Structure 1
Amino acid sequence: MSLSSYYRRLSNRITHGCQKLVVLLSATVPGIALAQLPALEEPTQGGGGIRSTAQGYMYDGFILAGLLLSTAAFIWVGIGCLSSFNEGRARGEWTKFGVTAFVGVVLILVIIWLSTEAAPILSQ
């Protein structure tokens, strides 16, 4: 065994031992593990008691779900419009593309409008 391989194995063992020590210390002393974590943000509504805080987080979750639904609808309509555009370009028939684009825009507007109308209702 050469001297360089001996030092490499020794260095790997020391590194592995230090990693085990850090994991052990972070499990036994929680202050070390939580030292640099930011404070948890309060919900946009509610706060004070457990129930109102949970309602605030639920409100934020429903608003986020509405935004995700709007995003998914936008992507879905975009993919549909692209496929009907390619089909219209290949066949020379543009009516399907026009109908798809019009219905898609109306669908997106309705979803955004419903999400906007639902926000004040959820805040009550």
Structure 2
Amino acid sequence: MSLQSLFQRLCGGFNRNCQKLAVLASTAVPGLALADLPALEEPTQGSGGIRSTAQGYMYDGFVLGGLLLCTAAFIWVGIGCLASFNEGRQRGEWTKFGVTAFIGVVLILVIIWLSTEAAPILAQ
């Protein structure tokens, strides 16, 4: 056994023992295990009472749901356009791709417009 491998074995065991000792100390003394966590963010709408805070969190949830709907529509339209593009490349007929792309862009614009119109209505 070389001196270097013996040193590595001793240091590896020392590091593992130090880690075990730190975990044991943090569980034995509860003050050491507490992390300094950030405070919970207030909702964007309403704060004060329980009801207005809950309504604020619901508003934020609905706005997030609208964003997720826009994202899903964007991905869905993109997949459809790629499929029709591939089909147009194989057959040489590009009308289906053009119609799919046009309707997809209109669909995305309508969903984004409806989401932005819904946000102020939800804030009331």
Q: For the superposition of Structure 1 and Structure 2, which TM-score range results when normalised by the shorter chain?
A: 0.7 to 0.9
Q: Where does residue 82 of structure 2 map in the other structure?
A: 82
Structure 1 counterpart of 2:110, which letter? V
Q: Where does residue 30 of structure 2 map in the other structure?
A: 29
5 Å matches for 1:1-124?
Answer: 4-27=4-27, 28-30=29-31, 33-35=34-36, 37-124=37-124
Across the two proteins, how many residue pairs are aligned to each other? Answer: 123
Structure 1 CA distance for aligned equivalents of residues 25 and 67 of structure 2: 42
Give per-residue Cα distances to partners, 1:38-60, cap 9 Å, x unaligned.
Answer: 33321111222333223222221
The answer for unaligned runs of 5 or more in structure 1 is none
Structure 2 CA distance for aligned equivalents of residues 7 and 50 of structure 1: 61
The offset of 1:70, in angstroms, is 0.5
> If the length of structure 1 is used for normalisation, what is the TM-score?
0.77
The answer for unaligned runs of 5 or more in structure 2 is none
Percent sequence identity over matched residues?
76
Across the aligned residues of Structure 1 and Structure 2, the Cα RMSD in angstroms comes to 2.4
> If the length of structure 2 is used for normalisation, what is the TM-score?
0.77
Structure 1 CA distance for aligned equivalents of residues 56 and 22 of structure 2: 37
